[in-house]
Amino acid sequence: MLWDSGQRRCRLSIRVAFLLTLASFGLSGPVFAQASGSNSHAAALTHSPLTDPAIEKRVDALMKQMTLEEKVGQLAQYSSGAPTGPSAGNADYPSMIGRGEVGSLFNLDSVRAANQYQHIAVEKSRLHIPLLFGLDVIHGFRTTFPVPLALASTWDPSIVEKAARIAAQESSAAGVRWVFSPMVDVARDPRWGRIVEGAGEDPYLGSVMARAYVRGYQGKSLRNKESVAACVKHFVGYGAAEAGRDYNTAEISEHTLREVYFPPFYAALSEGSVSLMSSFNTLNGLPATANPFTLTQILRKEWEFPGLVVSDWTSVGELVPHGIALDGAMAARKAITAGVDMDMVSDSYHQHLADLVKSGKVSQPRLDEAVRNVLRVKFALGLFEDPFTDESREVHGALPKERVEHARLAAERSFVLLKNSGAGSRPILPLAGDPGTIAVIGPLADDANNMLGPWSGRGRPEDAVTLKTALEQRVGAGKIRYAKGAEFQTASDAEIQKAVEAAQGADVVVLALGEEAAAQSGEAASRAYLNLPGRQEELLEKVTATGKPVVLLLFSGRPLTLPWAFEHVPTIVAAWFPGIQAGPALVRVLFGDVAPSGKLVVSWPRTIGQIPIYYNALNTGRPAGDTDLTHPPTNSPEKFVSRYIDEQNSPLFPFGYGLSYSSLEYSQTRVDSSKLSAVGMNETLRAVASDKSAGATASAMVKNTGNRAVDEVVQVYVRLTGTSMEEPVRKLVGFKRISLAPGESQTVSFPLGADAFSLWDMENHLRVEASHVQVWISPDSSRGLPVALEIVE
């Protein structure tokens, strides 16, 4: 199946609802015309489960009955259970709920607790408005899938959609009808710990994955009891935290916001995500949680988003340390005025909003609109009809087979084979059917908990199968020599020595090294060094020195810079954090039951000095060219070019890269038309039309020249020159995962239209311009020969 972003596709308009919204802001007709007319910056969102006149009617009726305090109550959210951030907020939830002072709770630890709170809300509060229960369900609820960075590495949105659906079924059975996912922050800096939670560095791939999550979570209908509301986050620029330090400031031009950072949000919202979370960071001088440009101008006016905006954890209160608010009242005023509907944990709305409205500092229409945004979601979920969760729905025993199998499939497709050179003439992987004795070494070889990765929802270590266990099941415990070798941060000489001895006595060594999931990856886990923590590199060097064939499995939430390993260790797999089926999935790939097929969604740097590093960069006026492949590149003939004097520009492994167990050949890329009309494509950007009609089709033949069946992710990139704004050296515009039997060839075609060729111009309008285009169909972002075409006026 071919995946296109569909980002700018128009469907049914929601303008009536939007008109109501604007009316409640006291905005007049001309503003509406500006937001929706032919000059609009981007097509307004056209598909939302919230744009339903029946819902609007019920919201109207309820609003009429609500007091100011009850309205404010709907905008307060608290964490009840293990906290996922600093400070707990308020605490006396039962009495607050009874007084109608709470709209949402999250982090609850059981369905029973949810039902108990819900009883108070619907039986004791005056208007019986149900609570909305949320949770960070990032890569599964109990069935823990690979971390999102790994899920994206499958380049398979159907895998992601099904994983999200399973997560929705399990979450909803636990009373959770709102998941704080997908995280769609584009991230170009692996020092940032939260790179693990997203789909990597590319806006196109990020958009495809964002849509897949939303489809899975929200299903065909939000009213379905197994559906949950998605919450796309963190709006916006959080992934561009300076120096990769979590919560740090971001500076991003409006052009780059539109080209790179907005698209996955737009994609998730146009797929119907009913909520969005504002981010912690300051963006261009203004904290994102008090940013009217992003939260109102873009989100409400340009995109016409009808849903709920929740702050991040205490990010309303954090406007005080940011320095743009002197106290909680000022913070509350700035956040709600900018467009944040619900205050997560900081208690600022609860404490101050009623007074702010009474004194006229916050307008009644803005308050009302925020409340409407919350109520719409509650109605759409059917919470008023059915506020409780049947406690028998939750699975307590073994996980259903189908879920476990999906976790295994997702993991298998997420591993990226980075290097597979030989023992002698033959690559080490796949292992022979009977590889002899296997030494299994490393802190991650038998650690179920860490297989789950950071943010593992309600994942249970007892559901996870480790590499050691799976290998024992495969070849028999007698053939496995296990030595932990090191802890994450420490190791004794004796431990390392034991591991070396295990290796010496084996025919092949599998090393499982990497990061400690939650401590070294995820939120508040930015790293200034991207090496293997503790003494693991020493362990690796000593084990490799035994001369035994070594397979290094890297478990991490980000690329790691390991120059020695990449030079000396013959076989290396990026295994990420694979989830509950880590062991079985790895074993199947190691033994070649299935070939590795994941591809990198982030450029893998040679050194941290290259960061931020991403493939879709601008060329500069003095490009270094790609000719100098020596390391370090000391003898380049060119001095005054954009390069390092002590390292190459290129990453160690480019975006889109991943090896397999076969060899593939790509033919020259072809296009069926060498001249296209910009006018025709611009029509499709503005009108309700298929954006394929005015484009070209690119195709290439891909042949499996080896003797193993493989899956290949075929990618298509474009570069535009002669445009009004500088465009990246390559931009992903499509991809397709295909299966190829040995010797088989397939012609892979990509229809390319306005979506592929449009750019944001100087006036921040999306359009196709007269330009020269190069098109590559290639196995990654660095290879292939382009074909040219021209776009004329």
Q: Can you tell me the distance from the alpha carbon of 298 to that of 292, in angstroms, rounded to the nearest whole number?
A: 8
- The strand pairing partners of 480, in sequence order, are 438
CA atoms within 13 A on the CB side of 241: 24
Q: What phi and psi values does residue 510 have, to the nearest 5 degrees?
A: -115, 120
Q: Can you tell me the distance from the alpha carbon of 170 to that of 167, in angstroms, rounded to the nearest whole number?
A: 5
Q: Are 466 and 445 in contact (CB under 8 A)?
A: yes
Among residues 84 and 531, whose Cβ is nearest to ligand NOJ? 84
Number of H helices, E strands in the chain: 26, 29
**Interaction residues for ligand NOJ, span 145-184 (CB under 6 A):** 180
Among residues 240 and 589, whose Cβ is nearest to ligand NOJ? 240
Q: Can you tell me the distance from the alpha carbon of 222 to that of 233, in angstroms, rounded to the nearest whole number?
A: 19
Q: How many residues bind ligand NOJ (CB under 6 A)?
A: 8
**Interaction residues for ligand NOJ, span 662-701 (CB under 6 A):** none
Binding mask 710-749 for ligand NOJ (x = CB under 6 A): ----------------------------------------
Write down the least CB distance from residue 97 to ligand NOJ, Å: 19
Write down the least CB distance from residue 235 to ligand NOJ, Å: 11
β 132-135/104-106 pair status? parallel
Task: Write the DSSP assignment of 91-147 as a string of letters.
Answer: --HHHHHHTT--SEEE--S-HHHHHHHHHIIIIISTT-PPPEEEE--SS-SSS----
β 787-792/771-778 pair status? antiparallel
Among 4, 136, 202, 727, binds ligand NOJ (CB under 6 A): 136
Question: Which is nearest to 368 in space by CA: 750, 22, 754?
Answer: 22
**Interaction residues for ligand NOJ, span 456-475 (CB under 6 A):** none
Q: How far is CA 141 from CA 119, 160, 457, 580, in A?
A: 24, 14, 5, 11
Interaction between residue 139 and ligand NOJ (CB under 6 A): no
Q: Can you tell me the distance from the alpha carbon of 490 to that of 488, in angstroms, rounded to the nearest whole number?
A: 6
Find the residue with minimal CB distance to ligand NOJ.
84
What six digits make up the tokens of 551?
Answer: 């397979």
Write down the least CB distance from residue 505 to ligand NOJ, Å: 46
Task: Write the DSSP assignment of 512-571 as a string of letters.
Answer: EEE--HHHHSSTT---S--S-STTHHHHHHHHHTT---EEEEEE-SS----HHHHHH-SE
Q: Can you tell me the distance from the alpha carbon of 217 to that of 163, in angstroms, rounded to the nearest whole number?
A: 9
Among residues 136 and 769, whose Cβ is nearest to ligand NOJ? 136
CA angle 610-246-285, nearest 5°? 95
711: Cα separation from own chain's centroid: 23
Interaction between residue 447 and ligand NOJ (CB under 6 A): no
Among residues 145 and 313, whose Cβ is nearest to ligand NOJ? 313
Among residues 314 and 466, whose Cβ is nearest to ligand NOJ? 314
Interaction between residue 248 and ligand NOJ (CB under 6 A): no
Among residues 231 and 594, whose Cβ is nearest to ligand NOJ? 231
Write down the least CB distance from residue 85 to ligand NOJ, Å: 5
Write down the least CB distance from residue 328 to ligand NOJ, Å: 19
Among residues 235 and 313, whose Cβ is nearest to ligand NOJ? 313
Write down the least CB distance from residue 523 to ligand NOJ, Å: 6
Q: In sequence order, which residues have a C-beta less than 8 Å from that of residue 733 and are 6 or more positions away?
A: 4, 204, 716, 717, 718, 750, 752, 755, 756
Among residues 310 and 572, whose Cβ is nearest to ligand NOJ? 310
Among residues 184 and 580, whose Cβ is nearest to ligand NOJ? 184
Write down the least CB distance from residue 241 to ligand NOJ, Å: 12
Among residues 472 and 523, whose Cβ is nearest to ligand NOJ? 523
What six digits make up the tokens of 622?
Answer: 């003095």
Binding mask 295-334 for ligand NOJ (x = CB under 6 A): -----------------xx---------------------
Interaction between residue 185 and ligand NOJ (CB under 6 A): no
Write down the least CB distance from residue 313 to ligand NOJ, Å: 4
Interaction between residue 84 and ligand NOJ (CB under 6 A): yes
Q: What phi and psi values does residue 774 have, to the nearest 5 degrees?
A: -115, 140
Q: Are 415 and 574 in contact (CB under 8 A)?
A: yes
Binding mask 259-288 for ligand NOJ (x = CB under 6 A): ------------------------------
Q: What phi and psi values does residue 699 have, to the nearest 5 degrees?
A: -150, 160
Write down the least CB distance from residue 86 to ligand NOJ, Å: 10
CA angle 173-174-175, nearest 5°? 90
Among residues 249 and 363, whose Cβ is nearest to ligand NOJ? 249
- The strand pairing partners of 698, in sequence order, are 671, 750
Interaction between residue 523 and ligand NOJ (CB under 6 A): yes
* Residue 312 known to be catalytic: yes
Write down the least CB distance from residue 180 to ligand NOJ, Å: 4
Interaction between residue 85 and ligand NOJ (CB under 6 A): yes
Among residues 311 and 771, whose Cβ is nearest to ligand NOJ? 311
Write down the least CB distance from residue 176 to ligand NOJ, Å: 12
In 144-214, beta strands by DSSP E: 178-179
Q: What phi and psi values does residue 732 have, to the nearest 5 degrees?
A: -70, 130
Write down the least CB distance from residue 178 to ligand NOJ, Å: 10
In 180-252, beta strands by DSSP E: 231-235
Q: Are 210 and 184 in contact (CB under 8 A)?
A: yes
Among residues 106 and 305, whose Cβ is nearest to ligand NOJ? 106
Interaction between residue 233 and ligand NOJ (CB under 6 A): yes
Write down the least CB distance from residue 284 to ligand NOJ, Å: 20
Q: Are 306 and 300 in contact (CB under 8 A)?
A: no
**Interaction residues for ligand NOJ, span 540-579 (CB under 6 A):** none
Unique residue bearing structure tokens 């079924």: 169
- Of 312, 347, 691, 755, the catalytic one is 312
Q: Are 336 and 370 in contact (CB under 8 A)?
A: yes
CA angle 593-598-601, nearest 5°? 170
What letter would DSSP give residue 694? T
Q: Can you tell me the distance from the alpha carbon of 308 to that of 315, in angstroms, rounded to the nearest whole number?
A: 16
Chain contacts with ligand NOJ (rule: CB under 6 A): 84-85, 136, 180, 233, 312-313, 523
Active-site positions? 312
